[in-house]
A = this chain, B = another copy of it.
Amino acid sequence: MIAENILKQYNAQLTQVKKGQVLFNEGDKANYFFQIQTGSVKMVSYSDEGQEFIQGIFGDAESFGEPALLGDFVYPSAAMALKPTSLWRLPKDRFFDLLKENFDIHLALDKALCNRLKYKNLVLSEISFHDPEHRLNTLFKYLKESLLSKNELVLSHHIELPFTRQQLADMSGMRVETAIRTIKRMEEEGKLFIKEGKIHV
Protein backbone atom coordinates (compact mmCIF):
# COMPACT_ATOMS: atom_id res chain seq x y z
CA MET A 1 0.00 0.00 0.00
CA ILE A 2 1.32 3.39 -0.99
CA ALA A 3 0.26 6.47 0.97
CA GLU A 4 -2.13 8.75 -0.92
CA ASN A 5 0.00 11.86 -0.59
CA ILE A 6 2.85 10.00 -2.29
CA LEU A 7 0.55 8.77 -5.03
CA LYS A 8 -0.68 12.30 -5.67
CA GLN A 9 2.87 13.59 -5.68
CA TYR A 10 3.58 11.25 -8.62
CA ASN A 11 0.45 12.29 -10.54
CA ALA A 12 -1.78 9.36 -9.74
CA GLN A 13 -5.42 9.86 -10.76
CA LEU A 14 -8.39 8.74 -8.73
CA THR A 15 -11.08 7.07 -10.83
CA GLN A 16 -14.44 5.46 -10.11
CA VAL A 17 -15.58 2.17 -11.59
CA LYS A 18 -18.92 0.41 -11.38
CA LYS A 19 -19.59 -3.10 -10.20
CA GLY A 20 -18.73 -5.55 -12.93
CA GLN A 21 -16.57 -3.11 -14.85
CA VAL A 22 -13.48 -4.59 -16.48
CA LEU A 23 -10.23 -2.77 -15.72
CA PHE A 24 -8.12 -4.76 -18.14
CA ASN A 25 -8.27 -8.00 -20.04
CA GLU A 26 -5.91 -10.89 -20.42
CA GLY A 27 -3.38 -9.97 -23.08
CA ASP A 28 -3.63 -6.20 -22.54
CA LYS A 29 -0.45 -4.21 -22.23
CA ALA A 30 0.22 -2.94 -18.70
CA ASN A 31 0.42 0.84 -18.59
CA TYR A 32 -0.64 1.70 -15.06
CA PHE A 33 -0.08 0.89 -11.44
CA PHE A 34 -3.45 0.36 -9.72
CA GLN A 35 -4.25 0.81 -6.06
CA ILE A 36 -7.71 0.48 -4.57
CA GLN A 37 -8.92 3.32 -2.36
CA THR A 38 -12.19 1.67 -1.41
CA GLY A 39 -13.93 -1.25 -3.06
CA SER A 40 -12.92 -4.66 -4.31
CA VAL A 41 -11.39 -6.14 -7.44
CA LYS A 42 -10.90 -9.72 -8.62
CA MET A 43 -8.24 -11.01 -10.97
CA VAL A 44 -9.41 -13.97 -13.01
CA SER A 45 -8.26 -16.44 -15.62
CA TYR A 46 -10.84 -17.90 -17.96
CA SER A 47 -10.87 -21.23 -19.70
CA ASP A 48 -12.11 -21.41 -23.30
CA GLU A 49 -15.44 -22.69 -21.98
CA GLY A 50 -15.83 -19.62 -19.81
CA GLN A 51 -14.88 -21.27 -16.54
CA GLU A 52 -13.27 -18.96 -14.01
CA PHE A 53 -10.25 -19.28 -11.81
CA ILE A 54 -9.88 -16.44 -9.32
CA GLN A 55 -6.18 -15.62 -9.07
CA GLY A 56 -6.81 -13.09 -6.33
CA ILE A 57 -9.29 -10.77 -4.70
CA PHE A 58 -8.04 -7.36 -3.60
CA GLY A 59 -9.65 -4.88 -1.24
CA ASP A 60 -9.19 -1.47 0.34
CA ALA A 61 -5.66 -0.06 0.12
CA GLU A 62 -4.34 -3.00 -1.88
CA SER A 63 -2.65 -2.81 -5.23
CA PHE A 64 -2.92 -5.32 -8.05
CA GLY A 65 -1.64 -6.00 -11.54
CA GLU A 66 1.92 -4.94 -10.72
CA PRO A 67 3.54 -8.17 -11.93
CA ALA A 68 2.77 -7.36 -15.57
CA LEU A 69 4.19 -3.90 -15.02
CA LEU A 70 7.38 -4.96 -13.25
CA GLY A 71 7.87 -8.12 -15.27
CA ASP A 72 7.19 -6.34 -18.54
CA PHE A 73 4.65 -8.78 -19.95
CA VAL A 74 1.00 -8.53 -20.95
CA TYR A 75 -1.61 -9.25 -18.31
CA PRO A 76 -1.95 -13.02 -17.87
CA SER A 77 -5.42 -12.52 -16.41
CA ALA A 78 -8.22 -9.99 -16.35
CA ALA A 79 -9.36 -7.63 -13.60
CA MET A 80 -12.95 -6.77 -12.74
CA ALA A 81 -14.55 -4.70 -9.99
CA LEU A 82 -16.70 -6.75 -7.61
CA LYS A 83 -18.48 -3.65 -6.31
CA PRO A 84 -18.40 0.10 -6.91
CA THR A 85 -14.74 0.93 -6.47
CA SER A 86 -12.55 4.00 -6.45
CA LEU A 87 -8.96 3.46 -7.41
CA TRP A 88 -5.69 5.23 -8.03
CA ARG A 89 -4.08 4.95 -11.43
CA LEU A 90 -0.41 5.79 -11.76
CA PRO A 91 1.29 5.79 -15.18
CA LYS A 92 4.05 3.21 -15.58
CA ASP A 93 7.03 5.55 -15.89
CA ARG A 94 5.99 7.64 -12.90
CA PHE A 95 5.55 4.42 -10.95
CA PHE A 96 9.12 3.43 -11.67
CA ASP A 97 10.28 6.90 -10.62
CA LEU A 98 8.40 6.41 -7.38
CA LEU A 99 10.09 3.08 -6.68
CA LYS A 100 13.52 4.45 -7.49
CA GLU A 101 13.08 7.36 -5.10
CA ASN A 102 11.43 5.40 -2.27
CA PHE A 103 13.33 2.31 -1.21
CA ASP A 104 10.98 1.58 1.69
CA ILE A 105 7.95 1.58 -0.61
CA HIS A 106 9.79 -0.58 -3.10
CA LEU A 107 10.52 -3.07 -0.33
CA ALA A 108 6.93 -3.02 0.89
CA LEU A 109 5.80 -3.81 -2.63
CA ASP A 110 8.21 -6.75 -2.75
CA LYS A 111 6.75 -7.98 0.50
CA ALA A 112 3.26 -7.90 -0.98
CA LEU A 113 4.43 -9.76 -4.09
CA CYS A 114 6.16 -12.38 -1.99
CA ASN A 115 3.04 -12.90 0.08
CA ARG A 116 1.14 -13.45 -3.11
CA LEU A 117 3.71 -16.05 -4.16
CA LYS A 118 3.35 -17.74 -0.81
CA TYR A 119 -0.41 -17.84 -1.24
CA LYS A 120 -0.08 -19.39 -4.68
CA ASN A 121 2.34 -22.02 -3.39
CA LEU A 122 -0.25 -22.85 -0.77
CA VAL A 123 -3.13 -23.15 -3.21
CA LEU A 124 -1.03 -25.18 -5.64
CA SER A 125 -0.04 -27.78 -3.10
CA GLU A 126 -3.57 -27.91 -1.72
CA ILE A 127 -5.06 -28.47 -5.16
CA SER A 128 -2.59 -31.15 -6.09
CA PHE A 129 -2.58 -33.04 -2.77
CA HIS A 130 -5.88 -32.73 -1.04
CA ASP A 131 -9.61 -33.36 -1.25
CA PRO A 132 -12.20 -30.56 -1.45
CA GLU A 133 -12.75 -30.40 2.31
CA HIS A 134 -9.07 -29.95 3.09
CA ARG A 135 -8.74 -27.40 0.31
CA LEU A 136 -11.64 -25.32 1.57
CA ASN A 137 -10.43 -25.61 5.15
CA THR A 138 -7.02 -24.25 4.23
CA LEU A 139 -8.54 -21.52 2.08
CA PHE A 140 -10.86 -20.49 4.93
CA LYS A 141 -7.98 -20.35 7.40
CA TYR A 142 -6.03 -18.18 4.99
CA LEU A 143 -8.97 -15.88 4.22
CA LYS A 144 -9.79 -15.52 7.91
CA GLU A 145 -6.23 -14.53 8.79
CA SER A 146 -6.01 -12.12 5.93
CA LEU A 147 -9.39 -10.55 6.75
CA LEU A 148 -8.45 -10.23 10.43
CA SER A 149 -5.16 -8.56 9.66
CA LYS A 150 -7.00 -5.91 7.66
CA ASN A 151 -9.60 -5.27 10.32
CA GLU A 152 -8.12 -4.62 13.76
CA LEU A 153 -11.48 -4.46 15.48
CA VAL A 154 -12.95 -7.92 15.88
CA LEU A 155 -15.93 -8.54 18.11
CA SER A 156 -15.99 -12.31 18.01
CA HIS A 157 -13.36 -14.89 17.20
CA HIS A 158 -15.60 -16.03 14.40
CA ILE A 159 -15.73 -14.20 11.13
CA GLU A 160 -18.13 -14.06 8.20
CA LEU A 161 -16.58 -14.86 4.83
CA PRO A 162 -17.71 -12.25 2.29
CA PHE A 163 -17.57 -14.65 -0.65
CA THR A 164 -20.11 -16.66 -2.58
CA ARG A 165 -19.79 -20.44 -2.91
CA GLN A 166 -19.02 -19.84 -6.57
CA GLN A 167 -16.10 -17.55 -5.73
CA LEU A 168 -14.72 -19.97 -3.14
CA ALA A 169 -14.95 -22.76 -5.71
CA ASP A 170 -13.19 -20.58 -8.28
CA MET A 171 -10.39 -19.86 -5.82
CA SER A 172 -9.77 -23.49 -4.95
CA GLY A 173 -10.26 -25.12 -8.32
CA MET A 174 -13.51 -26.98 -7.89
CA ARG A 175 -17.13 -26.75 -9.10
CA VAL A 176 -19.84 -24.84 -7.29
CA GLU A 177 -21.82 -27.96 -6.52
CA THR A 178 -18.79 -29.58 -4.93
CA ALA A 179 -18.13 -26.48 -2.86
CA ILE A 180 -21.77 -26.29 -1.73
CA ARG A 181 -21.94 -29.96 -0.82
CA THR A 182 -18.60 -29.89 0.98
CA ILE A 183 -19.45 -26.74 2.94
CA LYS A 184 -22.77 -28.28 4.00
CA ARG A 185 -20.96 -31.36 5.21
CA MET A 186 -18.44 -29.25 7.09
CA GLU A 187 -21.32 -27.47 8.79
CA GLU A 188 -22.84 -30.79 9.85
CA GLU A 189 -19.48 -31.83 11.22
CA GLY A 190 -19.33 -28.58 13.20
CA LYS A 191 -16.28 -27.28 11.33
CA LEU A 192 -18.04 -24.02 10.51
CA PHE A 193 -21.52 -22.56 10.75
CA ILE A 194 -23.85 -20.89 8.33
CA LYS A 195 -25.97 -17.89 9.29
CA GLU A 196 -28.39 -16.53 6.72
CA GLY A 197 -26.53 -18.34 4.01
CA LYS A 198 -23.20 -16.73 4.96
CA ILE A 199 -20.29 -18.90 5.99
CA HIS A 200 -18.78 -18.22 9.42
CA VAL A 201 -15.41 -19.64 10.41
Contacts and interface: CB of A to CB of B under 8 A. Distances in A.
Interface in A39-79: 45, 47, 51, 53, 55, 66-68, 70-73, 76-77
Contacts of A51: 128-129
Nearest to A47: B129
Contact of A72 (B103, B111, B113, B174): B111
Contacts of A70: 107, 110-111, 113-114
A53 B130 contact: no
Given A120-B124, A125-B45, A125-B47, A111 B53 contact: no
Interface of A: 45, 47, 51, 53, 55, 66-68, 70-73, 76-77, 96, 99-100, 103, 106-107, 109-111, 113-118, 120-125, 127-130, 173-174
Contact of A118 (B71, B114, B118, B124): B71
A175 to B, nearest CB: 10
Given A51-B129, A53-B129, A130-B47, A67 B114 contact: yes
Given A53-B129, A72-B111, A173-B128, A121 B120 contact: yes
Contact of A103 (B55, B100, B129): B100
As for how many copies of this chain the complex holds, the number is: 2
Contacts of A73: 114-115, 118
A123 B121 contact: no
Contact of A53 (B71, B116, B124, B174): B124
Contacts of A118: 67, 71, 73, 76
A138 to B, nearest CB: 12
Contacts of A111: 70-72
A29 to B, nearest CB: 15
25 contacts: A45-B125, A47-B125, A53-B128, A53-B129, A67-B114, A67-B118, A68-B114, A70-B110, A70-B114, A71-B114, A71-B115, A71-B117, A73-B114, A76-B118, A76-B121, A77-B125, A99-B103, A109-B110, A110-B110, A113-B114, A120-B120, A120-B121, A127-B127, A127-B128, A128-B174
